[in-house]
Amino acid sequence: MRYREQRTAEILEELTQTNGILNKLDDFVCGSEYLDMVRKGIIRDGDMVLVYSIDGAQLYRMKKSDCWIYIWVIFNLSPDKRYKMNAITKPNFS
């Protein structure tokens, strides 16, 4: 759960050493808006960073009901843990 804090510290150090240029943009912590919020103290060590994404669909043209799908993503986890599928939810396309 400390991935975001550790990676942010690495990126801020790299930006200091390279005059504000990152060699690799590989995660949300490289984003300018995120880094600006960290610099301003809006996002601090110990804070949780979550993304909530929602989308709706009307499954049938003339039906009044619709379907809403949502996902929470915990950005404090490293990408290999953040987007991991388990065997139960993994789709089978064969």
Domain boundary assignment for the chain: 3-79
* Element holding 37 (H helix, E strand): helix 32-39
Q: What is the pLDDT of residue 63?
A: 78
Q: At what angle do helices 32-39 and 3-17 cross, to 10 degrees?
A: 90
Identify which has the larger pLDDT, 91 or 87.
Answer: 91
DSSP character at residue 24: -
- For residue 24, list its beta bridge partners: none
pLDDT tens digits, residue range 11-24? 999 999 998 899 88
The pair of structure tokens assigned to 10 is: 């690495």
pLDDT exceeds 60 at position 87: no
pLDDT exceeds 80 at position 27: yes
Q: Tell me how far apart the terminal alpha carbons of the chain are, to the nearest angstrom.
A: 35
For residue 50, how far is the Cα from the chain centroid?
A: 7
Least confident of 37-41, 45-49, 76-80: 76-80
